[in-house]
């Protein structure tokens, strides 16, 4: 069984870890670059990348030269009789998830659960982390997706990330990808596991969370900034993805 000992959200930290081992670590970088030293080998982890470090590996980390970062980190231990992955391998895993927005959303929710310490927060936190590892295992199995499909979906994904504040239509994405409106949704979900519209909302709500935490913008201002003309609709979407109302973020 997974036993979580800490969930952290580092925002432009001015410190680092000199040396550590004995516990497993999951890292997801949301901005900038962070340098890890794993058993003497340097790994520069960039925005959107995920790193799983098994407990037995010695590791340290620091900010990259002239570059700070933001990241989520989960530190935990795991029953050796229950391997995290079906292939029973406890190896270092580094990759850029296709479902980056969803990973960030789930890690944000995990962080909220851990901080709030509401009833059953440990059970909820374990379930969220287990879901993330299932997603990792699933992506490992699907790394051989057709390169053409992968390239097409990456193009759509990039378009959404650069234009998420405005109204993006399925017809627009279909024209961009050179496929039919029906197929663009099927293709996107096949590769990333969510529809383009779901991905759009995930990206918006992740941004909303960061804005509510790091700026003085009101909920209405954040909603309008992210393209939600109806604040009540924004509130429903926020609660759906984050498990709480946007007004509770600053509480």
Residue 250 has a pLDDT of 67
Q: Are residues 159 and 210 in the same domain?
A: yes
Name the phi and psi angles at 186, rounded to 5.
-60, -45
Residue 190 has a pLDDT of 82
Is 156 a domain residue? yes
User: Closest by alpha carbon to 129, among 162, 106, 105?
Assistant: 106
* Strand (E) or helix (H) holding 115: helix 100-116
Query: Would you state the torsion angle of the CA atoms of residues 163, 167, 169, 174, taken in this order, to the nearest 10 degrees?
Result: -10
Number of independent structural domains in the chain = 2
Residue 142 has a pLDDT of 66
Is 196 a domain residue? yes
Q: Are residues 24 and 121 in the same domain?
A: yes
Is 251 a domain residue? no
Domain end call among 141, 164, 187: 141
pLDDT along the chain (251 residues), means of 10: 90 81 89 91 90 90 88 85 54 84 90 89 92 85 70 89 92 93 89 87 89 89 93 91 84 55
User: Closest by alpha carbon to 200, among 246, 158, 138, 152?
Assistant: 158
Residue pointed to by tokens 């627009």: 172
Question: In the numeric block, which tokens belong to residue 162?
Answer: 């650069």
Domain end call among 141, 172, 200: 141
Q: Are residues 214 and 199 in the same domain?
A: yes
Q: Are residues 179 and 197 in the same domain?
A: yes
Q: Are residues 166 and 228 in the same domain?
A: yes
Q: Are residues 200 and 123 in the same domain?
A: no
Is 193 a domain residue? yes
Q: What gap in Å lies between CA 203 and CA 195, rounded to an integer? A: 12
Q: Are residues 63 and 167 in the same domain?
A: no
Q: Are residues 94 and 160 in the same domain?
A: no
Name the phi and psi angles at 157, rounded to 5.
-60, -45
Q: Are residues 20 and 119 in the same domain?
A: yes
CATH number at residue 163: 1.10.10.60
Question: In the numeric block, which tokens belong to residue 228?
Answer: 């939600």
Provide the residue range defining the domain that includes 112.
2-141
Q: Are residues 241 and 171 in the same domain?
A: yes
Residue 96 has a pLDDT of 85
With beta carbons less than 8 A apart as the criterion, state whether 172 and 199 touch.
no
| Predicted model pTM | 0.68
Is 158 a domain residue? yes
Q: What gap in Å lies between CA 92 and CA 103, rounded to an integer? A: 18
CATH number at residue 107: 2.60.120.280
Looking at residue 228, the DSSP 8-state letter turns out to be -
Q: What gap in Å lies between CA 205 and CA 170, rounded to an integer? A: 19
Q: Are residues 15 and 101 in the same domain?
A: yes
Question: In the numeric block, which tokens belong to residue 225?
Answer: 């900034």
Is 101 a domain residue? yes
Collect contacts of 79-84 with beta carbons under 8 A, ≥24 apart.
79/1, 79/2, 82/1, 84/133, 84/137
Residue 108 has a pLDDT of 92
Is 163 a domain residue? yes
Domain end call among 76, 107, 141: 141
Q: Are residues 130 and 164 in the same domain?
A: no
Q: What gap in Å lies between CA 206 and CA 103, rounded to an integer? A: 10
């Amino acid at each position: 069984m997974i036993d979580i000992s800490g969930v952290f959200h580092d925002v432009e930290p001015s410190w680092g870890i000199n040396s550590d081992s004995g516990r497993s670590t999951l890292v997801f970088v949301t901005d900038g670059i962070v340098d890890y030293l794993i058993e003497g080998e340097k790994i520069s982890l960039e925005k959107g990348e995920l790193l799983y470090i098994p407990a037995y590996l010695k590791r340290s980390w620091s900010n990259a030269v002239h570059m700070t970062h933001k990241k989520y980190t989960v530190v935990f231990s795991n029953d050796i009789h229950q391997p995290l992955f079906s292939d029973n391998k406890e190896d270092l895993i580094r990759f850029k998830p296709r479902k980056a927005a969803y990973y960030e959303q789930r890690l944000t929710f995990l962080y909220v659960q851990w901080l709030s310490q509401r009833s059953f927060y440990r059970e909820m936190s374990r379930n969220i982390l287990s879901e993330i590892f299932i997603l990792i295992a699933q992506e490992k199995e699907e790394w051989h997706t057709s390169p053409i499909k992968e390239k097409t979906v990456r193009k759509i994904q990039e378009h959404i990330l650069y234009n998420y504040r405005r109204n993006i239509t399925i017809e627009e994405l279909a024209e961009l990808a050179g496929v039919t409106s029906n197929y663009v949704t099927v293709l996107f979900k096949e590769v990333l596991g969510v529809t383009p519209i779901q991905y759009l909302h995930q990206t918006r709500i992740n941004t909303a969370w960061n804005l509510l935490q790091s700026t003085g913008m009101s909920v209405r201002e954040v909603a309008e900034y992210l393209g939600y003309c109806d604040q009540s609709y924004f509130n429903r979407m926020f609660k759906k993805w984050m498990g709480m109302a946007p007004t509770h973020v600053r509480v």
